[in-house]
């Protein structure tokens, strides 16, 4: 079992004929991912590596049973691509594109309310369930099936954490990069709740960043709702206040959103906090035999 991306996934790729879409579709297929169709307006009736290409997402849903979408479209057209996937009834939408305007994402968030769709991203590394497949940028060779869930705001650190675990012989149940923009689809709490309910996931790695209050809110949720051990790291500890570091959401403002504040909140919630990213895999290794419930 896995969260979000399971055996039942039938994936269509919006922007499949573009440079990013074509490359990462081939990588996903090489991993064993079930990609059933591509979407490129104006290219209906053609094929990409034997996959049918349609003009509209609803056509892939109707004709191929698509229930997951990976979006690699240019930023200017991506908000409309997300809205199209929502309207087509896609259950899981994974948006990899960066540079989406905040006001457009506000509209997307409104459209998600009351829909049957979940959005991962935008500006994220995607999602991978080792042994099932992936949508996004995570390198195939780092993935190993197992029982540790990974959720991260940082793309690069997502790869680093997965690779650390794999090198230690520790597999992953599902790895989710939620993205670091100010407005994203699923946040930490959404993914933590799914990991908590997933019988395959026995421990969780949470990678946060400076800026905002997502990690503090996650800490509160963990304290009250999560029984599984959580290991966490916060990136950006040395960032100067008021300076945006990497992601648009990674900015310390008015003294809030610092790494130390987030570390403290997580520690109060019983999370195992590691301040050296190179040691996170080892900390996970240490707690794998710890009982699932906290005192």
Question: Catalytic positions, please?
Answer: 247
Question: Whole-angstrom Cα distance, residue 24 to residue 42?
Answer: 21
Q: At 144, is the secondary structure helix, strand, or coil?
A: coil
Here the tokens at position 1 are 């079992």
E strand segments, 68-181? 68-71, 92-95, 118-120, 126-129, 133-136, 145-152, 172-177
Here the tokens at position 101 are 């305007």
Kindly tell me the burial class for residue 92, based on how many C-beta atoms sit within 10 Å of its own C-beta (0-12, 13-18, 19 or more): buried
Question: Whole-angstrom Cα distance, residue 202 to residue 127?
Answer: 18
H/E element, 52: strand 51-54
């Amino acid at each position: 079992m896995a969260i979000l991306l399971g055996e039942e996934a039938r994936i269509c790729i919006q922007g499949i004929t573009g440079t990013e879409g074509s490359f990462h579709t081939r990588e996903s297929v090489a991993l064993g991912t079930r990609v059933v169709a591509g979407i490129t307006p104006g290219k209906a009736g053609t094929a990409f590596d034997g996959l049918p290409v349609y003009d509209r997402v609803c056509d892939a849903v109707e004709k191929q049973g698509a229930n997951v979408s990976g979006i690699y479209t240019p930023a200017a057209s991506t908000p409309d691509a997300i809205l199209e996937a929502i309207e087509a009834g896609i259950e899981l939408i994974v948006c990899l594109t960066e540079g989406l305007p905040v006001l457009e994402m506000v509209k997307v968030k409104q459209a998600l309310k009351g829909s049957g769709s979940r959005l991962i991203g935008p500006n994220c590394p995607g999602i991978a369930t080792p042994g099932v497949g992936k949508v996004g940028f995570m390198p195939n060779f780092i993935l190993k099936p197992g029982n540790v869930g990974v959720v991260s705001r940082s793309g690069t650190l997502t790869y680093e954490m997965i690779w650390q675990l794999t090198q230690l012989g520790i597999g992953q149940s599902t790895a989710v990069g939620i993205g670091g923009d100010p407005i994203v689809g699923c946040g930490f709490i959404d993914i933590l709740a799914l990991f908590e309910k997933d019988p395959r996931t026995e421990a969780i790695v949470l990678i946060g960043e400076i800026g905002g209050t997502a990690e503090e809110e996650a800490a509160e949720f963990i304290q009250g709702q999560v029984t599984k051990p959580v290991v966490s790291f916060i990136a950006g500890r040395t960032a100067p206040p008021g300076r945006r570091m990497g992601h648009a959401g990674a900015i310390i403002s008015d003294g809030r959103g610092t790494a130390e504040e987030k570390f403290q909140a997580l520690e109060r919630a019983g999370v195992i906090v590691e301040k050296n990213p190179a040691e996170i895999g080892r900390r996970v290794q240490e707690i794998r035999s710890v009982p699932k419930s906290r005192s």
